[in-house]
Amino acid sequence: MNYGICNLSIVPLRSEASDKSEMISQVLYGELFTIIDENKKWSFIRLEDDQYEGWIDNKQFALLSEIEFTDLNRLPKKYSSNLVDIITAETEELIPITIGTNIAPSHFLKHQFAGDYLSSFSKNAIIGTALNYLNSPYLWGGKTPFGIDCSGFSQMVYKMSGIQIKRDASLQATQGEVLSFIEESEPGDLAFFDNEEGHITHVGIIMENNQIIHAHGKVRIDHLDHSGIFNSDTNTHTHKLRVIKRIA
């Protein structure tokens, strides 16, 4: 079995082994993964944190031995807390990183990080962390302030609060405890929404005063009621509420 680490800031994870293929997620600096299959140009990987799978360009990561992978995986997480920060390579070249990047393995890559980071976590930090992403543009498969999708947003915010959840909204909806009513919810709980076929396609983070922060066009704050999300800009309901979950 082969292993790898992302040594670049933001790398696309694709559904097929092609630059033209759909980006289904992103691999951020410091993320570890197992290589399941490979060819001359591409590797099919499974990310260690959330077990998500996809294809990554062989030029966009560094190989690890099993011992190195195990040792790095044991390191306590340290997540960069500024929207954008810089890591310095041995050559003094600069590598930009974004909020939520795990900089714990930087020493292994012989990189230096002098910015702010989180090393202790609390669910109480979820809303404050979520607000850092406000107005980030929607991007299918995105996980950064420069482009993020609804489940990437909830996953990154939860991760920076010390809670690992799955990647897609439909997968996240299988986790946690079901709440019967909006009135039972607390800031930081997740609300899930379905389409006409009944498939869960959207997720947002519940705030105080029946508000919700979610990625829809951009990361925005809207009103949540028993029907779903009410967009004050268009005066319409944009998403139909399916279930509310409390995770951790």
Q: Kindly report, residue by residue over 32-47, the tens digit of the pLDDT.
A: 999 999 999 999 999 9
Instruction: Provide the pLDDT for residue 57.
Output: 98
Residue 122 reports pLDDT greater than 90:
no
Taking Cα atoms as reference points, which of 134, 164, 145 lies closest to residue 31?
164
Instruction: Provide the pLDDT for residue 40.
Output: 96
Query: What single-letter DSSP state applies at residue 77?
Result: P
Instruction: Provide the pLDDT for residue 215.
Output: 98
Q: What does the pLDDT look like over 152-177, one tens digit per residue? A: 999 999 999 999 999 999 999 999 99
Q: How confident is the model at residue 1 (pLDDT cuts 50, 70, 90)?
A: confident
Neighbours of 96 (CB within 10 A): 13
Instruction: Provide the pLDDT for residue 55.
Output: 98
Instruction: Give the CATH superfamily of 123-246.
Output: endopeptidase domain like (from Nostoc punctiforme) (3.90.1720.10)
Instruction: Provide the pLDDT for residue 12.
Output: 98
Which pTM was predicted? Answer: 0.96
Pick the catalytic residue: 150, 216, 223, 226?
Answer: 150
Instruction: Give the CATH superfamily of 2-118.
Output: SH3 Domains (2.30.30.40)
Taking Cα atoms as reference points, which of 39, 33, 41 lies closest to residue 1?
33
When the pLDDT of each residue in the chain is averaged and rounded to a whole number, the result is: 96
Pick the catalytic residue: 111, 214, 216, 239?
Answer: 214
Pick the catalytic residue: 202, 216, 226, 237?
Answer: 202
Contact of 235 with 245, CB cutoff 8 Å:
no
Number of helices (H) and strands (E) in the chain: give both, helices first. 4, 21
Q: Is 242 helix (H, G, I), strand (E, B) or coil?
A: strand
Residue 98 reports pLDDT greater than 90:
yes
Q: How confident is the model at residue 108 (pLDDT cuts 50, 70, 90)?
A: very high
Share of the chain above pLDDT 70, in %: 100
In the chain, where the domains are located = 2-118, 123-246
Element (H, E) at 246: strand 236-246
Query: Catalytic site residue 6?
Result: no
Instruction: Provide the pLDDT for residue 130.
Output: 98
